Chain A
Amino acid sequence: MSNTKSLLTIEDLYASVEEKQILKGLSLDIKPGEVHAIMGPNGAGKSTLGYVLSGRDGYAVDDGSVTLNGEDLFEMETEERARAGLFLAFQYPVEIPGVSNLEFLKASVDAQREARGEDAITSADFLKEAKAACKQVNLPISFLKRGVNEGFSGGEKKRNELMQMLLLKPQLCILDETDSGLDIDALQVVAEGVNSQRSADRSFIVVTHYQRLLDYIKPDFVHVLSDGKIVKSGDASLAHELEAQGYAWLQKEPAEDELEG
């Protein structure tokens, strides 16, 4: 492995929701340009990881540390984390009637540009960019005028998340089960969008239950998350193993060890 500085370093992270421990000593190191897949059964803590990293209310960090570009992530507010380059594509994006998608996108981009000390983008220029992004994710332009995610289908919501990613150009993208509820065509659109954004300085955490997505987004590393920590890591081939075996072995492993012993 190269000596490049890490983009994200998670060390021995413990986190809980409503007093219930969900993450139990999770460690992960991500360098710029890498794509890490996190797989695991339901209830392993996959979505919790995204929420903890983005600073959602009610997700308490009990122990451990996370740095983004060497900065302590937990010292930052949710919006500061976003401005520092963290992006979470939601499994269930929130509907906000009354706030137009375009207004929402512009407010997001404006806030991030301002934080970076860049000049504000003009409305006309932004509209051009937004239309291009809309086209790239295969959403009709009219979706810019609609309320944020309001009445969007599951697939449209996921594509809208992707559109935000294209416009915000984050350094670290966490895709939380972006494949759930998508048919194969929508999956390809999302995967193409993600692949178009892969670069030497942008990293991805692809959280998924199924190996299918990883046929389209090729990961550099695959990690298996079980009961709040990473129990196995490998390259892309690990995903295929999981596909063949399922997750049942995770529960059985201790028993098998005993038998072998």
Chain B
Amino acid sequence: MSEWLESAITRAQDVNDWLAPKRANAVELLSNTNWPTRKTEAWRYTPLRSVERSNAKVITDVIGLSPVEVTGLSAIELVFVNGKYDASQLSKILPEGLSISLGQDLEGVQKAEALDVFSTIKPERHLFGLVNDALAQDVIVISVTEGVEITQPIRISSLLSQGAESHTRVQVSLAEGSRLTVIEDVQASGDTLNTAFVEYDIAKKAHLEHYRFALQTGSNVAIGGSHFNLRDHASMHSTIVAFGSDLSRLDTDIIHAGEFADAKLNAMYLLDGKELFDLHATVEHAMPNGTTEENVRCIVADHARAVFNGRIHIHRDAQKTLAELNNRNLLMSNTAEINTKPELEIYADDVRCAHGATVAQIDKQALYYLQTRGVSRSKAQVMLNFGFINELIDLMPNAALAEWIRPVIRERFAQMEVN
């Protein structure tokens, strides 16, 4: 076991709050967990040295940080600063049918329900998910009432000052027929370590529009998860945009727990320098008639390293499942690295399933076509690489977010070209 994990366990044992039984369970599981090595499949390409060496500390001083401005977004802002929820940044009046509370402030039945749901959607196998169970500082509980559509998006920002360690946790439940948009974002200033996990329970016929931005770069360790439980006829549309850092790891789990659920996941990542980003995306088709469409695109420059593990598991009863996983990767340098592993496990016999992963250089035909119009080869390459990602940006349902992220990615891209 690593010193870091030992210290985490020790710290967790000092916490005594409403989550005590859940925390105790996590601590027990952690105590029996082997610290991952290169032989641990889930961490094979993502060494945890940066965690072991991290000097990040929980900072209790109040530090004023506010999330990045996104023109036209007008979101309901939920802000964690160094892991502590900053209630002053939440709008005073929330739309009808939406409730947002600190878990510890809930009472009676609501508190019992929140405790029940906690850590039931996120699978136990996530090492840092358990760390988050044990150490989460503040837990936010969000719920939408039956049949209500919340048009204003909720943005959950986790902001970290230099050297901070934070563990944030959110659980979201959408009641039958409701609709909600949630944006998860982390902004870290350097030498930080954070774990950020969110669990979503999406009831019958409800729809979740989801975004996760992992744009921390540099000397930050960012590990997190977004976990979704889809019931009958529930649907979700998720977009993940990521840059790398010393260590960035994201686990997503989509569970088709009901029939006729529909999941769309588009993930794009652009890595530069010596950055690492690792996405482990799991889809569990436990029930019949579900559909999943997953597009993951990745561009890696310089000495950066990308890891993708896309697992689709179709259980024996999940007949008539339609699942597609497409992973395309572009290498911009000889020293960049991509480790991709699509995994399909099918135990039902009447399903349609497709998966593919490609690692490629640029499309030569498209390059030639642009050149015949007078565009230089180098400019054409930039256009095509950007186009590769832009295709997925075009699929983002929220126009304000798309308009915000497009130039951010373009700038990132120009920088990758230089290196």
Interface residues of A (CB under 8 A from B): 54-57, 77-79, 81-83, 87-88, 90, 93-94, 96-99, 103-104, 107-108, 111-112, 115, 147, 164, 168
Q: Which residues of A contact B389 (CB under 8 A)?
A: 98
Contacts A99-B384, A103-B383, A147-B391; A94 near B374 (Cβ below 8 A): no
Interface core residue of A103, A107, A112 (most chain B CB under 10 Å):
A107
Q: What are 25 A-to-B residue pairs whose CB atoms are below 8 Å?
A: A79-B371, A79-B372, A79-B374, A79-B375, A82-B373, A82-B374, A83-B374, A88-B372, A90-B369, A94-B366, A94-B368, A94-B369, A96-B370, A96-B384, A97-B391, A98-B384, A98-B387, A98-B389, A99-B386, A107-B375, A108-B370, A108-B374, A111-B374, A112-B374, A147-B387
A77 touching B394, Cβ below 8 Å? no
A107 touching B379, Cβ below 8 Å? yes
Interface residues of B (CB under 8 A from A): 363-366, 368-377, 379, 383-384, 386-391, 394
User: Which single residue of chain A is at the shortest CB-CB distance from B393?
Assistant: A98
Query: Of B365, B375, B387, which is within 8 A of A111 by CB?
Result: B375
B373 touching A108, Cβ below 8 Å? yes
Q: Which residues of B contact A94 (CB under 8 A)?
A: 365-366, 368-369
User: Which single residue of chain B is at the shortest CB-CB distance from A86?
Assistant: B372
C-alpha spacing A78/B378, complex, angstroms? 13
Q: Which residues of A contact B388 (CB under 8 A)?
A: 98
Q: Please provide the 10 A-B residue pairs with the shortest distance between their CB atoms, ordered closest to farther.
A: A98-B387, A98-B391, A108-B373, A82-B374, A99-B387, A78-B371, A94-B369, A98-B390, A111-B374, A112-B374
User: Which single residue of chain A is at the shortest CB-CB distance from B376?
Assistant: A79
C-alpha spacing A55/B368, complex, angstroms? 9
Q: Which residues of B contact A87 (CB under 8 A)?
A: 372
Q: Which residues of A contact B379 (CB under 8 A)?
A: 107, 111
B371 touching A82, Cβ below 8 Å? yes
Contacts A57-B364, A77-B377; A99 near B390 (Cβ below 8 A): yes
Query: Of B371, B372, B374, B391, which is within 8 A of A115 by CB?
Result: B374
A164 touching B384, Cβ below 8 Å? no
C-alpha spacing A99/B375, complex, angstroms? 13
Q: Closest Cβ of chain B: how far from A148's Cβ, in Å?
A: 8
C-alpha spacing A98/B413, complex, angstroms? 15
Contacts A78-B368, A98-B389; A104 near B374 (Cβ below 8 A): no
Q: Closest Cβ of chain B: how far from A199's Cβ, in Å?
A: 20
A57 touching B373, Cβ below 8 Å? no
Query: Of B365, B383, B390, B391, which is within 8 A of A107 by CB?
Result: B383
Q: Which residues of B contact A82 (CB under 8 A)?
A: 371-374
Q: Which residues of B contact A104 (CB under 8 A)?
A: 370, 373, 383
Q: Which residues of B contact A79 (CB under 8 A)?
A: 371-377
Q: Closest Cβ of chain A: how far from B370's Cβ, in Å?
A: 7
Q: Closest Cβ of chain B: how far from A133's Cβ, in Å?
A: 14
Q: Which residues of A contact B390 (CB under 8 A)?
A: 98-99
B373 touching A164, Cβ below 8 Å? yes
Q: Which residues of A contact B376 (CB under 8 A)?
A: 79, 111
User: Which single residue of chain B is at the shortest CB-CB distance from A79?
Assistant: B371
Q: Which residues of B contact A168 (CB under 8 A)?
A: 373-374
Q: Which residues of A contact B371 (CB under 8 A)?
A: 55, 77-79, 82
Interface core residue of B363, B365, B370 (most chain A CB under 10 Å):
B370
Interface core residue of B363, B372, B387 (most chain A CB under 10 Å):
B372
Q: Which residues of B contact A99 (CB under 8 A)?
A: 383-384, 386-387, 390
C-alpha spacing A115/B379, complex, angstroms? 14
B374 touching A96, Cβ below 8 Å? no
Interface core residue of A77, A93, A98, A108 (most chain B CB under 10 Å):
A98
C-alpha spacing A98/B362, complex, angstroms? 13
Q: Which residues of A contact B368 (CB under 8 A)?
A: 56-57, 78, 94
User: Which single residue of chain B is at the shortest CB-CB distance from A108?
Assistant: B373
C-alpha spacing A81/B273, complex, angstroms? 36
C-alpha spacing A96/B366, complex, angstroms? 7
Q: Closest Cβ of chain A: how far from B391's Cβ, in Å?
A: 4
Q: Closest Cβ of chain A: how far from B239's Cβ, in Å?
A: 15
C-alpha spacing A107/B378, complex, angstroms? 12
C-alpha spacing A97/B365, complex, angstroms? 13
